Structure 1
């Protein structure tokens, strides 16, 4: 009986971890959408341009 209670507790903890991971991913995704949606075009271009340089990707 102690084994089934322990297993049940681990299953609940895993479900809680999954739920929190999904919630964090959703908040980060929505944050990126809203930041990109309300940022001026020049800011987005400069950010993408700088990222290309940090990855040694030719952009000129």
Structure 2
């Protein structure tokens, strides 16, 4: 029986690390912004998004 091992090339490993860091940075930024934003600003943003995508909200 032949064992097949998959290894990442250094370039792919670097791209994966970059993607993880970018996603983490964006996620933390979203949490930070939404955590410190006034509730009315978040409500208005969600409300405008619903109207822009033709979802009824009233």
Q: Do both proteins adopt the same fold according to a TM-score greater than 0.5, normalized to the shorter chain?
A: yes
Where do 4+ consecutive residues of structure 1 move more than 3 Å? none
The aligned residue for residue 44 of structure 1 is: 42
1:1-60 → structure 2 map (5 Å cutoff) = 11-60=9-58
Tell me, in whole angstroms, the C-alpha distance in 2 between the residues paired with 1:55 and 1:30.
26
| Number of aligned residues | 52
**TM value normalised by structure 2:** 0.85
**Unaligned runs of at least 5 residues, structure 2:** 1-6
Residue 21 (structure 1) shift: 0.3
TM-score (norm 1): 0.82
More helix by share: 1
Post-superposition CA distance 1:19-49 (Å, at most 9, x none): 0000000000000000000000000000000
